[in-house]
Amino acid sequence: MRPTFDRPFAITMWDFSWLERRWPGAGYEDWDQVLAELVDRGYDAVRIEAYPHLVAADPYRTWELLPVWNQQSWGAPSIVHVQVLPALLDFLRAAKRHGVAVALSSWFREDRDNTRMAAHTPTDFGQMWLQTLQHIDQADLLDTILYVDFCNEFPLEIWAPWLYADQLLRNAARYDLPAETLLTDVMPGIQSRASDRVVDWMRRSIEVAREVYPDLDYTYSTTTELTTWQSQDVSMLDVLEPHVWLADNDYSDYYKVIGYNYERFSTIGYDNLVRIGRQTYEENREKYDAALFRMIDTVADWSRATGKALYITECWSIVDYKDWPGLEWDWILDITARAVEYAAATGRFVGIATSNFCGPQFVGMWREIEWHQRLTSVIKNSPIDEDLRTRSLDR
């Protein structure tokens, strides 16, 4: 239920890895063990995939999920089979035993039948989430929920393809294109969160859940259009969750310079990162640090202007990284530490992550126990502005 913001949460992101990375050595085979390790590092919250589209379709079915990539260490690099319930409830029970709050989100993982495309209207979409919350409520686990993020990094096509389905069909029909036409040739451009359609989608979908569960915090996480927040209506959101990195934000050209383009099934991007990634940063450290800190200031200004608290669970250094030949962790840890300290001092964050690599599959970061403990102490002892600390009394 809605938390009081006496101090920030030290939060991490376990995305869909918590359920999809359970083969031997993948990191999440034993939830009690990995949650104990998380708490030992000082964390007290985690954001995970809740698979609301699969819960709404058939929560007890075994679903065959397709890989969203094979170059990243989040989730499975190949086909994987999952059953959402009772696994989600079992994970929530384990988190509760360890005193870990859980934020729910969804990356809308693609199954063999592409069930995620069933969300034709905001009401349909809201109903998916409502049904998921009802299962949690019936299991008497609603008190474990920190907040609900209706869609990861909305409205990127990779995570919200259902938002573009109708326009995609119109584009294909308009030009009478053959069946072998590439999807990229007809895919509409990313929709803006300032557009009437996207605002209406956010508002109406959240209303479905809020009507039944008014004491939960709801949001849509974001990573684009952060510098144009003034033009966006976020009145329907209870909290904000922007994702901020040094490598890719409106003030930084880092990925463009090194030649990283989010290649999901090719090593080219990582090859370029190995070749010149660290060197490019170190030769231009002042420039790139300034771009990162400027973006932190930007989202803090957004929070002040709207009166909405900030959570951040994906953040700070490089967007994509992993244990890999030629990729050292020390410079990533250094960037991250400075960013955490800078963000914590703003007084606007009520939940701060150290990184989106804070999981057992990222061995080079996970093993740095004292580093985690130092930063989670910084997070949990950082200030929260008065207007956010009294928020729960005003609603």
Q: What are phi and psi of 46, to 5 degrees?
A: -145, 145
Is 84 in contact with 19 (CB distance < 8 Å)?
A: yes
pLDDT of residue 295: 98
**Integer Cα distance of 108 and 162 in angstroms:** 10
Contacts of 61 (CB under 8 A, 6+ apart): 54, 83
pLDDT of residue 119: 87
Give the Cβ contact number of residue 233 at 10 Å: 15
Is 119 in contact with 55 (CB distance < 8 Å)?
A: no
Is 205 in contact with 150 (CB distance < 8 Å)?
A: yes
- 158: which 2 tokens? 């990779």
**Integer Cα distance of 329 and 321 in angstroms:** 9
pLDDT of residue 174: 47
CA–chain centroid gap for 332, Å, is 19
pLDDT of residue 83: 98
- 189: which 2 tokens? 């451009």
Q: What are phi and psi of 113, to 5 degrees?
A: -95, 0
Helix (H, G, I), strand (E, B) or coil at 57: helix
The 10s digit of each residue's pLDDT in 334-390 is: 999 999 999 999 999 999 999 999 999 999 999 999 999 999 999 999 999 999 998
Residues in the chain: 395
pLDDT of residue 4: 79
- Tokens 């002892």 -> residue: 381
Q: What are phi and psi of 256, to 5 degrees?
A: -65, -40
In 3D space, the residue among 193, 148, 188 whose CA is nearest the CA of residue 52 turns out to be 148
pLDDT of residue 350: 98
pLDDT of residue 3: 79
Splitting the chain (395 residues) into consecutive groups of 10 residues, what average pLDDT does each group show?
87 98 98 98 98 98 98 98 98 98 98 92 97 98 98 96 71 51 56 94 98 98 97 98 97 98 97 98 98 98 98 98 98 98 98 98 98 98 95 51
**Integer Cα distance of 65 and 317 in angstroms:** 29
- The residues that bridge with 324 in the sheet, in sequence order, are 327
The 10s digit of each residue's pLDDT in 131-163 is: 999 999 999 999 999 999 999 999 999 999 989
pLDDT of residue 165: 77
Helix (H, G, I), strand (E, B) or coil at 125: helix
- The CATH number of the structural domain formed by 9-155+191-394 is 3.20.20.80
- Tokens 């050595």 -> residue: 25
